[in-house]
Amino acid sequence: MEKGKGVLGAGRRWAVDFSDNSTAPSSRDIPDPPGFTRASVDQDDSAVSRQKKDAEANWKAQKAWEVAQAPFKNLLMMGFMMWMAGSTVHLFSIVFEPYKDNKVELLGPKLLFIALNLGGLALGVWKLNTLGLLPTHASDWVSSLSPAQEVEYSGGGIPL
């Protein structure tokens, strides 16, 4: 999960706003790089802000999917580790909080995330089962069962 965290954390610490920069008056002196057409940028304010928001939303959705898929990369590694020996269960934190937005549909990524984590869990359980650590046999439930009481009592022996 370290990788996923890295992506998120770095994304929030700094941001380069390319669109904002292009409208700043100070940058007018600098000639446009070759092949850059200003026409697409020079739009009215409302259009610019809407476009900006759309881009952000797209980016967020893309990121969300990325994050959701992140465990997938780990699954193989994890599976291998579990197959080798591990029977430790990883704790997945819910990581979709930063991408929460009215417009972004997060149900899909969440479901995938849950499904994949459940897959991991299933793998873990399967591993425990093969190790014989799951109480799935009758023997696991009767091993400390005290003997049944007998109703009758008899004593005696060879006369003294």
Partner 1 sequence: MAIGSFLILFILFFFSSLNPILSLYEDQVGLVDWHQQYLGKVKQAVFHTHKTGRKRVVVSTEENVVALLDLRQGEIFWRHVLGSNDVIDGIDIALGKYVITLSSGGSILRAWNLPDGQMVWESSLRGPKHSKSLLLVPTNLKIEKDNIVIIFSNGRLNAVSCIDGEVLWEKDFEGESLEVQQVIQPPGSNLIYVVGFASSSLFEMYQINALNGELLKHESAAFSGGFLGEVSPVFSETVVALDSTGLILLTVSFQNGMISFQQTPISNLVKDSFGPAKIIPSSVTGIFAIKMNAVTIVIRVTDENKLEVVEKTNHETSISDALPISEGQQAFALVQRAGPEIHLRVKLAHNWDDNLLKESVKMDQHRGLVHKIYINNYIRADKSYGFRALIVMEDHSLLLLQQGEIVWSREDGLASIIDVTTSELPVERDGVSVAKVEHNLFEWLKGHMLKLKGTLMLASPQDIAAIQSMRLKNSEKSKMTRDHNGFRKLLIVLTRAGKLFALHTGDGHIVWSYLLQSLQKSKVCQHPIGLNLYKWQVPHHHAMDENPSVLVIGKCGPSSDAPGALSFVDTYTGKELSSLSLVHSVALVIPLPYTDSTEQRLHLLIDADKHAHLYPKTPEAISIFEREFSNIYWYSVEDDNGIIKGHALRGKCTGEVADEVCFDTRELWSIVFPSESEKIIATVTRKLNEVVHTQAKVIADQEVMYKYISRNLLFVATVALKGSGEIGSVTPEESWLVAYLIDTVTGRILHRVTHHGSQGPVHAVFSENWVVYHYFNLKAHRYEMSVIEIYDQSRADNKDVWKLVLGKHNLTSPISLYSRPDVITKSQSYFFTHSVKTIAVTSTTKGITSKQLLIGTIGDQVLALEKRFLDPRRTVNPTQAEKEEGIIPLTDSLPIIPQSYVTHALRVEGLRGIITVPAKLESTTLVFAHGVDLFFTQLAPSRTYDSLTDDFNYALLLITIVALMAAIFLTWTLSERKELQENWR
Residue 22 CB, nearest approach to partner 1 (Å) = 43
Q: Look at residue 63 and give its three-state secondary structure.
A: helix
Residue 135 CB, nearest approach to partner 1 (Å) = 8
Residue 16 CB, nearest approach to partner 1 (Å) = 33
Count Cα atoms within 13 angstroms, Cβ side, for 55: 9
* Residue ranges in contact with partner 1 by CB under 8 A: 84-86, 132, 135-160
CB closer to partner 1 out of 57 and 125: 125
CB closer to partner 1 out of 39 and 76: 76
CB closer to partner 1 out of 30 and 138: 138
CB closer to partner 1 out of 26 and 139: 139
Residue 88 CB burial class (10 angstroms; 0-12, 13-18, ≥19):
exposed
* Of the candidates 56, 72, 67, the residue with the CA atom closest to the CA atom of residue 15: 56
Residue 140 CB, nearest approach to partner 1 (Å) = 8
d(CA 109, CA 68): 5
Distances (CA, A) of 111 to 14, 35, 73, 79, 118: 29, 43, 17, 20, 10
